[in-house]
Amino acid sequence: MMTSTLEAARAAAGRHAWSETLEILRAEDSTRPLAGAELELLGRAAWWMGDINSCIDARERAYVAYVEEGNMARAGVVCLNLAEDHFHRLAESVGRGWLTNAERILGALPETVEYGWLARMQSVVAIEGRGDVEAALQRSRVAHELGVRFGDPNLEVLSIHDQGRALLAGGRVEEGLALMEQAAARAVSGELEAMATGKIYCNMIDACERLADYRRAKEWDEEARRWCERVGQESGFPGICRVKRAEIMMMSGTWSLAEAEARKATVELVDFLDFAGHGFSEIGAIRLRMGDHAGAEEAFRQARELGLEPQPGLALLRLATGDVATARQLIDRRLEDAQLRLDRARLLPARIEIALAADDLETAEQDAAELDAIAEEFKSETLSAAAAHYAGMTALHQGNHERGIEMLRLSGKLYTRCGLPYEAARSRLGLGLAYRARGADELARLEIDAARSAFEQLGAEPEARRATQLLLDDDAPDPGVRKIKAMMFTDLVSSTSLVEAIGDEAWTHLVRWHDRMLRSLFEKFGGIENDRAGDGFFVVFASSRDAIDCAIEIQRSLQRHRADSGFAPEVRIGIHSAEITEVAGTHTGVEVHKAARIAGLAAAGEVVATADTLADLPDLAGSRRRSVDVRGISEPVEVATVVWE
């Protein structure tokens, strides 16, 4: 009975009919104890169905069965599978326990194909866990020799693929990609099992993305999509492929489709915690580009709950909401842990952005140089574009407009050639600012207008708004020039009792009215909307008087609406005046961070301003001034609550 059942289950698995495989084996499992080979196949079928708990249960039983049968070689292989399962669930201690068990069993069998699978796992752990290129190469070569000797094409081709990954990580790009492409081509042919094929595809696309070679990644993604369709949609790998595909789509500019793909992946990979976290991280990155800070915050929170630190996205979100100090801490900590050069390449652009916001030009210049060196080492055109972009933006902050123009023209061309519309638009916006700083106003207008159009098509609302404002503002300041401005942060204070009283739909309409009313008052008092910060706004005014008068009018308008309609949302406002820098239509730096924190000191319906704001307004009534500690600011800040009623 065992032989016929196993043959039937294997036949179903050979057709990738994983539901049928499970049905056969579970029916038999209800009538008699399954043998080790049957349980091992049951675990594999459960994995493909995305049922990781049943998979682990079956594999644990298979291990015990193989030990009782005296088949220690297969018992050791099952230990390897269990180690990988627990690594996927981010249960690293449990995973290491099973790996140690596999090493104990298979270490005594060095002349077997099963030992080759142990060597292959050790290679993966060396490159993914420790960044040890030489150890990864050595173990993958052992695995390859045993795969060839014992005629196991899955082990043979996977170990070729692993050697390519190690060579790539060590900077030997052409050799590494050649081996990985060789393995991927053999996987296309159908000579390998589905598991080996899926691993090769996913790692191939991941390598392309790490090199920022999105054109090559898209080519292999199409092959992976075709293979997934051939395997069947009940398999586990489409969910993993979707995470990779979502990043490719985001970089190509199809953000809504990319988000839909990432959301599907998070559902399919609910038990594969490492990949599910990446799905939420992609959603956060997309939401951030669209200017939806609340949506980005929620997605990054979910990624962190799944054990993934979503960097550089979270650091860039903190930067976008004015918390430069926290953004710098987050990105510095992640860079300290980055062991491989390509990992650093993904993080350095964010630290340069943050350094420029904090006027730390030394760090920005050093990081741009490191990024350029990595781009040269790995022959990545996209990384070269990024290095040129940040070299150009750093030059603008330094007042070197000619250098800025040269680098930003180059980055725009490279980004366009790589098919990255958002990045190309950012370079064009920077180039427009450089032309304006040099006095070439018509060239500046052409570049800024082209950038604005691209941002609008993409749905990049914050950048589109900045570009539009630059086109409207004939007196836009040169990059790097510091001027005293008054910064206002508003925050809508949600009232649970009010929402319950008027209902969700009415509350939504009320929030829209709030947005329109505030924006009309910003325009009336000459405020320039710099960013949409959650449920509030970040607005910059030419003077403290304009900012204070606008804040008072906002609170009075809300009070009138409350008296006329019986209800109105409550808003708290913080204002701080300081010398700040404008770059690419936005204002950044530690003073912006301070202004954002001041708003947090206000209660619902209050206006809190710093002493710097009130210094030139002796006629303004205010509460007794007080010193407060502000998170991220080393010295206490003197503030007062403005009397407006």
The pLDDT assigned to 232 comes to: 59
The one-letter amino acid code at 432 reads G
CA atoms within 13 Å, Cβ hemisphere of 50:
19
Is residue 481 within a helix (H) or strand (E), and if so which, with residue range? Answer: none
Tell whether the model's pLDDT for residue 350 goes beyond 90. Answer: yes
Average pLDDT over residues 130-149: 94
Residue 572 near residue 342 (C-beta atoms within 8 A): no
The pLDDT assigned to 585 comes to: 56
Q: Which residue has the tokens 């060839």?
A: 148
Question: What is the C-alpha to C-alpha distance for residues 612 and 561, in angstroms, rounded to an integer?
Answer: 31
Average pLDDT over residues 135-143: 96
Question: What is the C-alpha to C-alpha distance for residues 196 and 188, in angstroms, rounded to an integer?
Answer: 11
Q: What b-and-e string marks burial along 626-642, b requiring 16 or more CB atoms within 10 Å of the CB?
A: eeeebebbeeebebbbb
CA 300 to chain centre: 8
Least confident stretch, 45-59, 187-201, 246-260, 422-436: 187-201
Angle 267-270-274 from CA coordinates, rounded to 5°: 120
Angle 80-86-87 from CA coordinates, rounded to 5°: 85
Question: What is the C-alpha to C-alpha distance for residues 496 and 105, in angstroms, rounded to an integer?
Answer: 60
Going by pLDDT thresholds of 50, 70 and 90, the confidence category of residue 623 is low
Average pLDDT over residues 362-374: 95
C-alpha distance from residue 324 to each of 166, 300, 312, 610 (Å): 36, 18, 13, 19
Pairing of strands 607-610, 570-583: parallel
Question: What is the C-alpha to C-alpha distance for residues 310 and 332, in angstroms, rounded to an integer?
Answer: 14
Selected residue with higher pLDDT from 215 and 504: 215
Tell whether the model's pLDDT for residue 68 goes beyond 90. Answer: yes
* Predicted TM-score (pTM) of this structure: 0.66
- Domain 316-472 and domain 484-641, same fold? Reply is no
Q: What is the mean pLDDT of the chain?
A: 87
The pLDDT assigned to 439 comes to: 86
The pLDDT assigned to 622 comes to: 61
Going by pLDDT thresholds of 50, 70 and 90, the confidence category of residue 480 is low
CA 406 to chain centre: 30
Residue 346 near residue 312 (C-beta atoms within 8 A): yes
At residue 599, the 3 state secondary structure works out as helix
C-alpha distance from residue 524 to each of 75, 307, 512, 537 (Å): 75, 47, 19, 16
N-to-C CA span, the chain: 88
At residue 502, the 3 state secondary structure works out as helix
Angle 613-615-619 from CA coordinates, rounded to 5°: 105
Instruction: Report pLDDT digits (tens) over 173-196.
Output: 899 999 999 999 888 777 888 888
- Cβ neighbours of residue 185 closer than 8 Å, sequence gap 6 or more: none
Selected residue with higher pLDDT from 310 and 496: 310
The pLDDT assigned to 219 comes to: 84
Going by pLDDT thresholds of 50, 70 and 90, the confidence category of residue 374 is very high
Selected residue with higher pLDDT from 321 and 139: 139
The matching CATH number, chosen from 1.10.1370.30, 3.30.70.1230, 3.40.50.620, 3.40.50.1110, for 484-641 is 3.30.70.1230
Tell whether the model's pLDDT for residue 618 goes beyond 50. Answer: yes
Question: What is the C-alpha to C-alpha distance for residues 605 and 556, in angstroms, rounded to an integer?
Answer: 9
Tell whether the model's pLDDT for residue 497 goes beyond 70. Answer: no
Least confident stretch, 127-136, 232-241, 449-458, 557-566: 232-241
Tell whether the model's pLDDT for residue 564 goes beyond 80. Answer: no
The pLDDT assigned to 235 comes to: 43
Question: What is the C-alpha to C-alpha distance for residues 128 and 612, in angstroms, rounded to an integer?
Answer: 51
Going by pLDDT thresholds of 50, 70 and 90, the confidence category of residue 75 is very high
Highest-confidence range of 239-253, 388-402, 469-483, by mean pLDDT? 388-402
Extents of the domains making up the chain:
1-86, 316-472, 484-641
DSSP bridge pairs for 570: 493
What CATH number does the domain located at 1-86 have? 1.25.40.10
CA 539 to chain centre: 27
C-alpha distance from residue 276 to each of 94, 290, 303 (Å): 19, 22, 8
Instruction: Report pLDDT digits (tens) over 149-176.
Output: 999 999 999 999 999 999 998 889 899 9
Instruction: Report pLDDT digits (tens) over 232-272.
Output: 544 446 577 788 888 889 999 999 999 998 998 888 777 77
Average pLDDT over residues 208-229: 81
CATH superfamily, region 316-472:
Tetratricopeptide repeat domain (1.25.40.10)
pLDDT > 70 fraction of the chain, expressed in percent and rounded: 91
Question: What is the C-alpha to C-alpha distance for residues 417 and 52, in angstroms, rounded to an integer?
Answer: 42
pLDDT > 90 fraction of the chain, expressed in percent and rounded: 48
